[in-house]
Amino acid sequence: MAISRGQLVKELEPGLNALFGLEYKRYENQHAEIFDTETSDRAFEEEVMLSGFANAQVKPEGSGVTFDNAQETFTARYTHETIALAFAITEEAIEDNLYDRLASRYTKALARSMANTKQVKAAAVLNNAFSTSYNGGDGKPLLATDHPTIAGTFSNTLSTQADLNETSLEQSLIDINAFTDERGLKIAARGVKMIIPSELQFTAERLMKSAQRVGTADNDINAIRSMGMVPQGYVVNNFLTDPDAFFIKTDVPNGMKMFVRAAIKTAMEGDFDTGNVRYKARERYSFGWSDPRGMFGSQGSA
């Protein structure tokens, strides 16, 4: 259905001082703080986790060397979605408008809707990080205490969920340092950036920026700050829905990923029969993760 003069009555009357409602600022590209972006040229992308070898064995004198096997363990799949939105304006509405080009104003609103959808879909990966309805390639949600490996399991969440404070943040960083690979060998993983909802921004600021420990009368230093334990600090994601959950992106490669299949494109065309002008925006992308070691998090104590 096209936007007609009946929906734009006030815009057609002399004496109108201002039009408002489409000029709000928006949160831009918060997904880029979570996901590493790659391009795609197919309907979906798959990434395969490989296992290396276990610890080398002692070889007794005169005995044969021990052989080990390497193998594929699981496959992460990214299926691209097509995101699109359009609107149309009648020929008469365009002719009779007295103040501004309708197309210019409403194409900005179209861009706003497309951008907002991208942020919602990106944040949904973290919003559903503990849900078994959203499992990754290893059959577990992004954050779990029992991600399966050939050697057993590993955890990328706290054993007891906790709110963001000095103790829980320090334990999270310790647990990240204890990550192991598919064969149980320790890996040199480090937390690099904390991602939080807006409700936790003041708590995070005190934890990350205070020179001394937070909430104590002791004169101890703030070890998290002095050791540079989270070098990229924290970022607020305004699309996170759990007010007490917090997440830490690690430096493990091939973790959180966004694939762009088709960048955003806009198109405009006129309809010969009606004279209506139609405007459309469209893009294709997917969000997800390959190696769950790329993220650590807690859903809070509530």
- Amino acid identity, position 302: A
Q: 247 pLDDT band (50/70/90 cuts)?
A: very high
* Greater model confidence, 9 or 231: 231
Average pLDDT over residues 15-19: 39
Residue 187: is its pLDDT beyond 50? yes
DSSP 79: E
Do the beta carbons of residue 205 and residue 198 sit within 8 Å? Answer: no
226 has pLDDT over 80: yes
Closest CA to 266 of 284, 288, 245, 282: 282
Q: What is the mean pLDDT of residues 54-83?
A: 92
Buried b (16+ CB within 10 A) or exposed e, 261-290: beebeeeeeeeeeeebbebebbbbbbbbbb
Predicted pLDDT at 16 = 36
Question: pLDDT at residue 98 above 50?
Answer: no
pLDDT at site 278: 84
What value does the mean pLDDT take over residues 242-266?
Answer: 96
Check whether 177 has a pLDDT greater than 60: yes
Where residue 22 falls among pLDDT bands split at 50, 70, 90?
Answer: low
Strand partners, 234: 194
* Average pLDDT for 26-44: 93
Average pLDDT over residues 175-196: 96
pLDDT band at 270 (very low <50, low <70, confident <90, very high): confident
Summary mean pLDDT of the chain: 88
- pLDDT level of residue 24 (50, 70, 90 thresholds): low
Intra-chain end-to-end CA distance of the chain, in Å: 45
**Does the pLDDT at position 18 exceed 60?**
no
pLDDT over threshold 70, residue 203? yes
Which pLDDT value is given to residue 2?
58
- Nearest by Cα to 109 from 87, 83, 91: 87
Domains and CATH numbers, the chain: 32-50+73-298 (3.90.1690)
| Coil, helix or strand at residue 246 | strand
Mean pLDDT along residues 74-79: 95
